Amino acid sequence: MAAGSSALVLLALLISGYLFNLIFYPFRYFSSKAEGQKLFFMAAGAGLVLGAFVFGVTGILRSAPYLQGGFILAIGRAIDIAIPVPYACRLLLTIVVAVGGALALNFILWLRYGRTGRPTAKRVYNKLTDNFGNALCQLLRKAADNQKLVLITLKSRKIYCGRILEVPPNIENSDACVEILPSFSAYRDKDTLRMGGGRTDYPVISLWEAKQYIYSRKGILDFFDKGVAANGFGYAERIAVEREKLANDIAEAQAVIDKFGDFDPDGISDWIKVIAIKEIESASFYDPDAYKAWFSSPKDNTSESDLAI
């Protein structure tokens, strides 16, 4: 085999591996974290495995007595003659297997994770991030899943506190960004690094939280109204109390929404901040009550009785 032909064979295997890694969700996740030679060898390794599989299977089938002189072998020989590259038919079949195999494996993942809720790819990325992501990536992932407030400090000493909406799978890359719906922003003092003045509140997050709460709780309320009652269980005293509490919480959330009047809910996306990961100095979960109890200044904790004394 000439050097040029050998290069074409290797190129076909490399393309097969690249396509498989690009389409199959778990491999796409790890490929997005790789750079340079590592990314090349990942594609080459996948291509060699796929090529070995295709060459092995076709070699067995080619020697099968019931296929001799058949239509399938005739097509294979025609492709080999038409394309002046060694093993042209097998190389084309390797590319087809790479694409089809990746799609088939994604379908299996869809059956496992993606029938309802978020897209399959995001579910797979989230699980892999929980197991293989760095500390910052895992913290942001947990914050997005559990909708916890996160306090992010940038290298410029700017502070954003809010809800994480989107965490990319390639968060460890230098150009990765994270989306946050801020509750407030501020600056750290250049000397003490304490949270200083210039705080800006973003009340629109209250609207978003209320809408998310109602969306998640109405299903439970429907269960009380339709599921329990329709099955003849009636309302036991404890169930009735829980239902009333849930209904009151939904009413309070609706009252928050009503305060915004005709504000377009779609406008919430205009308040989203996109922050480059490389600009983040530190990040932590944020509990406003805990912050006031543990980190506020003594002056802030002074009670009226203390002032009277």
Check whether residue 158 and residue 282 sit in a common domain: yes
Q: Same structural domain for residues 162 and 257?
A: yes
151 and 281 co-located in one domain: yes
Regarding whether 174 and 65 lie in a shared domain, the answer is no
Displacement of CA 297 from its chain's centroid (Å): 38
Is residue 303 a part of any domain in this protein? no
Residues 95 and 47 both lie in one domain: yes
Task: Tell whether 252 is covered by a domain.
Answer: yes
Q: What is the pLDDT of residues 173-209, one digit of tens each?
A: 767 888 888 888 888 887 777 777 678 887 777 776 7
Q: How many angstroms separate the Cα of 136 from the Cα of each of 33, 40, 179?
A: 15, 27, 14
For residues 175 and 248, membership in a common domain is answered with yes
User: What is the three-state SS of the chain?
Assistant: CCHHHHHHHHHHHHHHHHHHHHHCHHHHHHHHHCCHHHHHHHHHHHHHHHHHHHHHHHHHHHCCHHHCCCHHHHHHHHHHHHCCCCCHHHHHHHHHHHHHHHHHHHHHHHHHHCCCCCCHHHHHHHHHHHHHCCHHHHHHHHHHHHCCEEEEEECCCEEEEEEEEECCCCCCCCCCEEEEEEEEEEEECCCCCCECCCCEECCHHHHHHHHHHHHHHHHHHHHHHHHHHHCCCCCCHHHHHHHHHHHHHHHHHHHHHHHCCCCCHHHHHHHCEEEEHHHEEEEEECCHHHHHHHCCCHHHHCCHHHHHC
Q: Which domain holds residue 248?
A: 144-287
Same-domain pairing of 148 and 281: yes
128, part of any domain: no
Number of domains in the chain: 2
Is the pLDDT higher at 303 or at 5?
5
Of 291-295, 298-302, 303-307, minimum mean pLDDT range: 303-307
Specify if 90 maps to a domain: yes
| pLDDT > 70 in the chain, percent | 68
**What is the per-residue pLDDT across 33-46, written as a single tens digit (0 to 9) for each?**
777 788 889 999 99
Instruction: Give the residue with greater pLDDT, 214 vs 180.
Output: 180
Residue 260 is assigned to a structural domain of this protein: yes
- Whether residue 37 lies inside any domain: the answer is yes
pLDDT band per the 50, 70, 90 thresholds, residue 298: low
Range with lowest mean pLDDT among 165-174, 198-207, 231-240, 268-277? 231-240
Same domain, 149 and 106: no
Write out pLDDT tens, residues 32-80. 777 778 888 999 999 999 999 988 888 777 776 656 656 566 676 676 6
Model's pTM, two decimal places? 0.62
Q: Tens digit of pLDDT for each residue in 95-145?
A: 999 999 999 999 999 888 766 667 888 788 878 887 887 788 888 888 887
Domain membership flag for residue 217: yes
Whether residue 180 is contained in a domain is answered as yes
In this prediction, residue 98 carries a pLDDT of 94
